[in-house]
Structure 1
Amino acid sequence: MNRSLIKHLLVGMTAAATLGTASLSHAADPIKIGAINIRSGSAATYGEFAQKGFDLAVKEVNASGGILGRQVEMMYEDSQAKAATAIQAARKLVYSDGADAIVGLDSSGVAQGMVPTMTELQKPLIITHAATPDVTGKLCNAFTYRVSVNVSQNMKAAAMVASKSDAKNWTTIGPDYAFGHQSWEYFGNYLKAMKPDVNLMSETNFPRFGAEDFTPFIDRVMNSDADGVLISVWGGDLVNFVRQANDRGFFDKGLDLMFTVGAATEVLSALGEEMPEGVHLSTRYWFDAYDNDVNKHFVKAYVDAYGNAPSYNAEGAYAAIYAYKKAVETAGTTDGPAVAKALSGMSFDAPNGKVTFRAGDHQALVSPNWGVSGPMDAKLGIRTLTNLQVFDGEAVTPSVEETGCQL
């Protein structure tokens, strides 16, 4: 064999070895998922509970071999409930930290601001909490998905509950941004269609998000002709609201009260017996509402790990990781556009049943839960839900044409 041929073979062998080493090195690199949630201020518990859901899912996924043989690594950022902060965090996660996907978002206002940037980032976003219909409606795009219940779905279910009430004059108390205003708008439209004789009062109440004093709004409702009230205050604000409402005798007035996210276990844990019995409470997921193997496993694993019942935000976070896992495995890659495409129309098993991301708008067809606050659960330290209703996700979701989404 001449020297030239030997040299050629050695170069080829070296190149092959180098490529093999690079391939193995890439395979060993973790898949990075960036989570953006509220991690400070009055709603910080939502970020805390979301992280518990993310961490539990990632621990399970990694223990079972990861995704495509690669371990998963979570990176956490605080949105501070500000759209500009969330956008900055998303760009940092993708451009500086190498995130393959983004998950989370709690505030509708934050989601409205951040969703348009996903086409720039070219990474899939799975929203686990923020409920504005706009992000799977007029602001929809190829990269944005939502695994949790949105305002339209929940308010149609709410209207179905309210339509059976004797209340005639309805008003609202909700945060003064998209979530509060859209909750009232959708609820009113659905209820009026079901029960045309109801009166949707012009006297509405929208305290700022993060307000400390709700008494002027509580007093205003108590001094009005309202006999039905939709309350979409949430998080730490809802805890403060309920305590102040108790002090004012609000719950002794015989009003028909509907709390749109009152059965969030973060809130119920903070309030304990201070949450009154006999009021309508909703949640995007109630841990005791689903009799399936995935939910049984999730609830047990969560209680074993953290000692309390999982919230809907923890469930949404947990489900998002498994949705992303299936999409990556379907696509055979972590490439952003490929994974986003794989999510479209995809179904997977979640604690709240089989979930499908509708291809036309990327909204998950999931089931709102409504019940009535019942006795205390001594073991978990929260009120139970009685008269629990699990609404069919498909039945409460408007058509793609109605959403305004054009993908």
Structure 2
Amino acid sequence: MKFAVKIVAATVAVLSVGGAFAQKGETVKIAMIEGLSGPMANVGQNQLKGWQFIAERLNGAKNAAGVKFEIVGMDSKGSPQEAQNTLKAAVDQGFRYIVQGNGSGAALALADAVAKHNERNPGKEVIFLNYAAVDPALTNEKCSYAHFRLDADTSMKMEALTTFMKDQPKVKKIYLINQNYSHGQQVAKYFKAGMASKRPDSSIVGDDLVPLGQVKDFAPYVAKIKQSGADTIVTGNWGQDMTLLVKALNDAGLKLPIYAYYAGVSGTPTALAAGGDVEVYQIAYNHSNYPGELGVIMNDFQKKFGDDFYTFSIYNGIVLMSEAMAKAKSTDPMKVAAAMEGLKFKGFNGDSEMRKSDHQMQQGLYISKWQKVDKTNPYRVEKTGYTFAPVKYIEAYVASTPTSCQMKRPG
């Protein structure tokens, strides 16, 4: 399959435009409010390193605004309540920008808390960049002016995934297994709707919701999958809930095709490789084998940390903020928010846009397949002999879904 993959060195070209702005040389402090301890800590720690690595990579003259980004990790333990408490601590310490992504429950709590803070504290507003929480509500009925989503939401990813799956004749009996919170529930909901219209001949033979980060042994779930006669597994699981599911499938010798959201997240690729050749497809905004600048970033990150850089929305977040600051000629959060609305820029997949109506990033998506590395796809995920190779690119306009957001704007 041929690709028109658009890879960019996103920040250099704009530096010559507009000269030296007032904000050049300023330090922009960003609080990363995330689960840095607990069952999903390996994911949060990877992403903290990712934010700090990309900020360092694109600081100063390497970004459009000429600013220095400083990322400070603050542990929410993955809890919505702790996330709100951590937000208060961050505000007290003078942070005006926060980022978070792991867990839509925490994201919804933060978006609400930030909106209330901004209403009560004019002149001290905070902006929230969400890099991974994909509940569609965040840019629909729960949308807010201070919240900007860098990832594609579940409805966008599922539109792309079901469009791909409808052309897979082997997919007939599907078992859904997802985490029992808003994200997992939405994965199941949008999958059922998408397949009902695109592949009415397929059927759901199982639909399990598991408590987030609490299941230590997935063997009972795997036994149910086997008993159901499923020929396909669909899961939005991430972190240990994905890794332990794969390990249980390996232990049972059950090699069913898996269609997943987060098969490439910390720990899971190693578990997949231990199972030998297994058919896995991932829907995401990225894959593992970018040429050019992104390829160099991935290799340098792995050399430095012994881990993979997989949260590419971090890259777009830094580029988006810096270009908005250059446009606004300011690092003031409200001026930057106004500049981010509708901003079009060159992201890691080429043309990207922060949609003004709901603050949902519009970007292309990939279906990638787990396979052994080869000359075309040489990146060794988690230093295994395997990689996620792109098999289909879905243009931004195809993956885009409508919004019901009624944005309340300041003033």
CA–CA separation in structure 2 for the residues paired with 1:328 and 1:216: 51
- Farther off after superposition, 242-251 or 302-311: 302-311
CA–CA separation in structure 1 for the residues paired with 2:299 and 2:247: 31
Q: Residue 149 of structure 2: which of 132, 135, 146 is its match?
A: 146
CA–CA separation in structure 2 for the residues paired with 1:84 and 1:98: 20
Q: Is the 8 A contact 2:43 2:265 kept in 1?
A: no
Residue identity (%)? 21
- Farther off after superposition, 277-286 or 190-199: 277-286
1:297 Cα offset (Å) = 4.8
1:182 Cα offset (Å) = 0.5
Correspondence 1:249-268 to 2 at 5 A: 249-251=253-255, 255-264=256-265, 266-268=267-269
Q: Is the 8 A contact 1:154 1:396 kept in 2?
A: yes
User: Aligned to 2:259, what secondary structure does the other structure show?
Assistant: strand
1:225 Cα offset (Å) = 3.6
Compared CA separation, residues 274 and 97, structure 1 to 2 (3 A):
farther
Paired residue for 2:9?
A: none
Paired residue for 1:116?
A: 112
Corresponding letter in the other structure for 2:313: G
Q: Is the 8 A contact 1:174 1:180 kept in 2?
A: yes
1:151 Cα offset (Å) = 1.0
CA–CA separation in structure 2 for the residues paired with 1:275 and 1:238: 17
Q: Residue 130 of structure 1: which of 133, 148, 160 is its match?
A: 133
CA–CA separation in structure 1 for the residues paired with 2:242 and 2:96: 35
Compared CA separation, residues 101 and 275, structure 1 to 2 (3 A):
farther
CA–CA separation in structure 1 for the residues paired with 2:294 and 2:102: 23
Corresponding letter in the other structure for 2:401: P
Q: Residue 388 of structure 2: which of 385, 390, 397 is its match?
A: 385
Q: Residue 217 of structure 1: which of 190, 208, 221 is its match?
A: 221
Structure showing the higher helix proportion among its residues: 1
RMSD: 2.5
CA–CA separation in structure 2 for the residues paired with 1:384 and 1:373: 6
1:63 Cα offset (Å) = 4.6
Q: Is the 8 A contact 2:60 2:67 kept in 1?
A: no
User: Aligned to 1:369, what secondary structure does the other structure show?
Assistant: strand
1:279 Cα offset (Å) = 2.5
Compared CA separation, residues 335 and 387, structure 1 to 2 (3 A):
closer
User: Aligned to 2:78, what secondary structure does the other structure show?
Assistant: coil
CA–CA separation in structure 1 for the residues paired with 2:73 and 2:390: 37
1:67 Cα offset (Å) = 7.5
Q: Residue 81 of structure 2: which of 79, 84, 105 is its match?
A: 84
Paired residue for 2:17?
A: none
User: Aligned to 1:321, what secondary structure does the other structure show?
Assistant: helix
Q: Is the 8 A contact 1:280 1:373 kept in 2?
A: yes
Compared CA separation, residues 357 and 196, structure 1 to 2 (3 A):
same
User: Aligned to 1:72, what secondary structure does the other structure show?
Assistant: strand
The CA deviation string for residues 7-61 of structure 1, in whole angstroms up to 9 with x for no partner, is: xxxxxxxxxxxxxxxxxxx987632111112211222122122122211222134
- Farther off after superposition, 223-232 or 31-40: 223-232
1:171 Cα offset (Å) = 2.6
Paired residue for 1:15?
A: none
1:270 Cα offset (Å) = 5.8
Structure 2 alignment gaps of length 5 or more: 1-22, 119-124
Q: Residue 61 of structure 2: which of 48, 59, 64 is its match?
A: 64
CA–CA separation in structure 2 for the residues paired with 1:69 and 1:283: 30
Compared CA separation, residues 174 and 378, structure 1 to 2 (3 A):
same
Aligned length: 370
Compared CA separation, residues 42 and 373, structure 1 to 2 (3 A):
same
1:159 Cα offset (Å) = 0.6
1:74 Cα offset (Å) = 1.7
Paired residue for 2:93?
A: 97
Structure 1 alignment gaps of length 5 or more: 1-25
Q: Is the 8 A contact 1:118 1:124 kept in 2?
A: yes
Instruction: State the structure with more CA Rg.
Output: 1
The CA deviation string for residues 205-257 of structure 1, in whole angstroms up to 9 with x for no partner, is: 11111111211111111111433321222112211111111111221xxx442
User: Aligned to 1:223, what secondary structure does the other structure show?
Assistant: helix
User: Aligned to 1:167, what secondary structure does the other structure show?
Assistant: coil
Q: Is the 8 A contact 1:347 1:357 kept in 2?
A: yes
Q: Is the 8 A contact 1:280 1:370 kept in 2?
A: yes
Q: Residue 365 of structure 1: which of 362, 367, 374 is its match?
A: 362
Corresponding letter in the other structure for 2:99: V
Q: Is the 8 A contact 1:39 1:45 kept in 2?
A: yes
User: Aligned to 1:206, what secondary structure does the other structure show?
Assistant: strand
Corresponding letter in the other structure for 1:368: L
Given the alignment of the two structures, is residue 164 of structure 1 paired with residue 167 of structure 2, yes or no? yes
What is the TM-score when the length of structure 2 is the normalising length? 0.82
Q: Is the 8 A contact 2:78 2:103 kept in 1?
A: yes
Corresponding letter in the other structure for 2:392: Q
1:103 Cα offset (Å) = 1.4
Q: Is the 8 A contact 2:369 2:389 kept in 1?
A: yes
User: Aligned to 1:158, what secondary structure does the other structure show?
Assistant: helix
What is the TM-score when the length of structure 1 is the normalising length? 0.83
Q: Is the 8 A contact 2:235 2:258 kept in 1?
A: yes
Q: Residue 176 of structure 1: which of 174, 180, 195 is its match?
A: 180
Corresponding letter in the other structure for 1:240: L
